[in-house]
Structure 1
């Protein structure tokens, strides 16, 4: 089992939760293809909307990959993003700032946002448990 963070605006997370899916990195397939059924994804939302929404800086969702491979959909004639099906669990949003000192993937607290520029990235089980606890133990 692998644990992931997907950096997505809150409004896009909400669309994914309503439809039972996630997209990543502006619809590109590479990171989604690395995921496997049973992997967990924590969703971090830097903003309420992409690209110009209000600053949020919260973990906003948690879900488990529920399919076997990435698939492509047509949203518009010019946009065919890749997706993975996700079973979301009920959580309450959690601000990231109180977690910065506990998360091992944050290498420098002064520049904590750098890691999220990758969009999707793998984390270890410890970091997943820190995020999961913040989302579910409120």
Structure 2
């Protein structure tokens, strides 16, 4: 199977939360991009800014991870009914 490489864009704060908790999330929690990924694929995160509420440029690659399995799941963030899709990965 051919290994693929994906780019995710998120704030630095959101990427660090994902690294700490061991998940990948893309496109504001949409399932479709995660379904395109396979076990063994790599994801690289780019952060254009440090946090959502500030417009100060950051413009750095902030994490690299490898997809660890094919399980896609929803996670209730307890924020106004926001229940994004995620995949497990390790960094």
Is the partner of 1:68 in helix, strand or coil? Answer: strand
CA distance in 2, matches of 1:40, 1:51: 28
* CA distances 1:80-138 after superposition (whole Å, capped 9, x unpaired): 100011110xxxxxxxxxxxxxxxxxxxxxxxxxxxxxxxxxxxxxxxxxxxxxxxxxx
Structure 2 gap ranges (5+)? none
Structure 1 gap ranges (5+)? 89-138
Matched, 1:29 2:39: no
Runs of 4+ residues deviating >3 angstroms: none
How does 1:1-138 map onto structure 2 within 5 Å?
Answer: 1-76=3-78, 78-88=81-91
CA distance in 1, matches of 2:55, 2:21: 22
Number of matched residues? 88
CA distance in 2, matches of 1:53, 1:73: 28
TM-score, length-scaled by structure 1 = 0.60
Mean alpha-carbon deviation: is it higher for 45-54 or for 27-36?
A: 45-54
CA distance in 2, matches of 1:9, 1:17: 12
Task: Give the root-mean-square deviation of aligned CA atoms.
Answer: 1.2
Larger Rg: 1
CA distance in 1, matches of 2:5, 2:22: 18
Structure with more relative contact order (C-alpha pairs < 8 Å, separation 6 or more)? 2
Distance apart, 1:22 and its partner CA: 1.4
CA distance in 2, matches of 1:50, 1:70: 25
TM-score, length-scaled by structure 2 = 0.90
Is the partner of 2:38 in helix, strand or coil? Answer: coil
